[in-house]
Chains A and B, each alone.
Chain A
Amino acid sequence: MALISRGRWWPILCVGIAVTILAVYILLVASNWIYLGWHDTVYFFSKSRMWERFWLTVWTSTVSTFFSLFIGIPAGYALSRFRFPCRYAIASVIDLPIVVSPAVVGAFLFGITTRFPFDWISEYYGVYIGRNVYGVLLVQFTVTAAFCARLMKASFDIIPVRFESVSRSLGASPMRTFFKVVLPMAKNGIVASMIVVWARAAAEWEGLMLFVGATEGKTDIMPFAIYLDWNGGMMGWVTSMSIVCILMAVSAISAMRLIGGRSNVW
């Protein structure tokens, strides 16, 4: 009673809720793993198809994250530091992909890929743009690029402007200041955001469903493959791939913590 009367019940309640949430998620994974059973776990995890899909997911989302960073870092920096016309309009547009469903992105990509110069490229090289793994990359990139810029803006926002002023006053160019001062300071934030962007890309599915469609072994990244196999009644694949997805997410986040990525996102 003494504990409770001193108001100690509040932290206990909070920790209790956190533990409950954890227990629910562990139960979710465990129950599905029990459903799968040991024999099938060994069977599915030793299948090469599983790991092909795994690598496809990993490399596509890594590449699209990489491209997103190239857009996201400068754009985020600009939005965080500079005053220029339509800044708020751009900032609002950049917030869109967080709010709008990726399905919209998938549907809208048809608009751009069927017009010049893409129709010309498609005709000349005899490929269907967007029906192969590059379509997957395009969807992932479109969905994550703006998202990435948004997260980068947040990472740069928390760095005091003073350091840049000092660097500039000592004679460094704006570019040198950015690479030597701002970027190293924002490192943790960038790494953390990068993981979020990567996870977002790896989980992309709706846009793919509308824009790309699946070819086995070529465009079926994990979340899409889960949907495909759900439709094919292959519950073994569905369950085992879901478990792989969860393990993938857990290890990505742990890796980030080990690297020491920490920002206002995490």
Chain B
Amino acid sequence: MKTVKYVLFFVIAFCFTLSSQAFGGEKALLFHAGLGQRGALNEVKEIFEKKNPEIKVNFSYKGSGYFIADITRSKQGDLFMPGEEFYLMQAVERGFLTSYNPETDIPAHFVTVIITPAGNPKNIKCIEDFAKPGVRVGLGNPKSCAVGIWHQKTFEKAGIWDKVKKNATLSAKCIPELGNAAQHRAIDGSIVWGTTAVLYLRDVDIIPIEHQYRGIIRLPVGVLKFARYKEEAQQLMDYILSDEGRAIFHKHAYAINSVIPVDKDGFCLDGTTDKDMEYLVNAAKAVKDESFPVNKDTVGALIEEVERQRKTVRAGD
């Protein structure tokens, strides 16, 4: 019987230790953020916490589609940053956001690019090449990821949607699936965000898209109505929207120009993002070729990303 008493005692003591640890006094923000923004946001967190030692930032990284259900059920969270404005608008419609200004609350943009496996086996150079017979195209499922909607939009604009659909060999549920497929040579080409393409520099070739088909996707951020620490959440949001915060996103291949002229469908109108595209293409070259010079002129803000991926054959950090 003694053993039982001892064990019980330890369990109770353990519970107390756990609970005392759980309820520390610091202000911990809960940040609902799309998985894709992990690289940039982890960096934001690090710098922000250093600047504001009394505030801690906890992320709840998930696929962007999961959040509306989560927030509806839990009524928890301070900040919200899904991977597409569409998901944020869902929250706005339900009244979950204190305020949302589509003009100013966009810290960064995604830009669409073509990726192919390294060496570009089917020699894809432009959008029209996806319609060539025998090209295995990876498409996103428009129901589950934003890139799928853009695939349809882009190829419809080029008038080759039917042909491309016939070439499709993969219906991806999220963007990384397309990147991974290209990396493992399961497809000959696809269109993804530049921020996705930058994760596979060693294993894919990146081809910029001409202006009329180059999609610009807005990445929004907002403070939730349920925020426990509204002021601190606003502080973090302001930091993300500041030049310093935007610069962090730039390092991960987001386009951070505050104004990118687009037509009503979201396609690029001029060469605002040309320089970023050039950096991206050079970065892919630099990781594959050690002799390629890596500096501000060749790869711009992507220096750290290039160096990270040069370190290992199978990308890590």
Binding site for B on A (CB under 8 A): 35-37, 39-40, 43-44, 47, 49, 66, 70, 107, 110-111, 113-114, 122, 125-128, 130-132, 134, 175-176, 179, 209-210, 212-216, 218, 228, 230-237, 239-240
Please judge, given known A-B contacts A213-B62, A233-B196, whether A40 and B313 are in contact too, CB under 8 Å: yes
What is the CB-to-nearest-CB distance from A209 to chain B, in angstroms, rounded to a whole number? 6
B: which residues have CB within 8 A of A? Answer: 1, 3-4, 11, 18, 22-23, 25, 27-28, 30, 32, 35-36, 38-39, 42, 58-62, 66, 69-70, 73-77, 174, 176, 179-180, 183, 196, 199-200, 228, 311-317
* Alpha-carbon distance between A130 and B42 when the two chains are bound, in angstroms: 20
Is B76 within 8 A of A131, CB to CB? Answer: yes
Residue of B nearest to A44 (CB): B316
When the two chains form the complex, which single residue of B1, B69, B70, B176 contacts A233, counting CB atoms closer than 8 Å? B176
The reply to whether B73 and A236 form a contact with Cβ atoms under 8 Å apart is: no
Question: 14 more A-B contacts (CB under 8 A) besides A40-B312, A232-B38, A236-B315?
Answer: A39-B312, A43-B312, A44-B312, A122-B76, A126-B27, A126-B28, A126-B228, A130-B74, A131-B30, A228-B35, A230-B176, A233-B179, A233-B183, A236-B313
Q: Which residues of B contact A239 (CB under 8 A)?
A: 314
Can you pick out 5 interface pairs between chain A and chain B where the beta carbons lie within 8 Å of each other?
A: A127-B28, A128-B28, A216-B38, A230-B180, A233-B183
Question: Contacting A210 at CB < 8 Å: which of B3, B66, B311?
Answer: B66
Once bound together, how far apart are the Cα atoms of A233 and B153, in whole Å? 26
Given contacts A43-B312, A114-B73, A215-B61, whether A132 and B38 have CB atoms under 8 Å apart is: no
Which among A37, A122, A234 has the highest number of chain B CB atoms within 10 Å? A234
CA distance A36 to B11 in the complex (A): 42
A240 — which chain B residues lie within 8 A by C-beta?
A: 316
Tell which of B42, B70, B77 has the most Cβ of chain A within 10 Å. B70
Taking a contact as CB atoms closer than 8 A, the residue among A36, A128, A134, A233 that contacts B76 in the complex is A128
Interface centre among B23, B25, B176, B316 (most CB of A within 10 A): B316
Question: Shortest CB–CB separation between residue B237 and chain A, in angstroms?
Answer: 18
A107 adjacent to B199 (CB under 8 Å):
no
- CB-CB under 8 A from A44, the residues of chain B are 312, 316
B60 touches A236 (CB 8 A): no
- What are the nearest 8 A-B pairs in CB distance? A213-B60, A233-B199, A236-B314, A110-B73, A236-B316, A125-B23, A214-B61, A231-B35
Identify the closest chain B residue to A49 (Cβ): B317
Query: With A216-B42, A233-B199 as given contacts, are A128 and B314 in contact (CB-CB < 8 Å)?
Result: no
Across the interface, name the chain B residue whose C-beta is closest to A126: B228
Q: Kindly list chain B residues whose C-beta atoms are within 8 Å of the C-beta of A107.
A: 69, 73
Point out the residues of chain B lying under 8 angstroms from A210, CB to CB: 62, 66, 69-70
- By beta carbon, the residue of chain A nearest B199 is A233
A39-B312, A40-B316, A107-B69 known; A231+B176 contact, CB < 8 A: yes
Find chain B residues with CB under 8 A from A230 CB.
Answer: 176, 180
Nearest CB of B to A129, in Å:
8
